[in-house]
Amino acid sequence: MSYPKELSLEAILSDGEGQSVEFMEKVPEQGHDLAKELAAFGTTNAGTIFIGVANTGKVVGLQRMGSSEAQDKLRTRLEGISTNGIIPMDEAGREHNRLSD
């Protein structure tokens, strides 16, 4: 199933993971793990990662996210991972040097 599409969150959760949907129960300890998921969507189909959702589609939430400070800290971490954690590769698997391209 292709997203975005006008569907309810319940429909997305019941459809489960696929080529355009990934569930992550928690924010990975290592930013590299999330960067790999982001890169996978970048090289295939566009997609959406739902953090705080178990692989079964059950919403489990995130621990200690009640304050706006905690939410801002998480948002900053995710933005940093998505901005700095993805390094483009060429067809041979070599890192691109953005300055020389």
Tallying the residues shown for the chain, one arrives at: 101
Distance CA 9, CA 4 (A): 11
Mean pLDDT of the chain: 77
Residue 53: the pLDDT is 94
pLDDT of 67 over the 50 cut: yes
pLDDT in tens, 13-60: 999 998 889 899 988 888 888 888 888 877 777 778 888 999 999 999
- Provide φ and ψ at 95, rounded to 5°: -65, 140
CA distance 58 to 74: 21
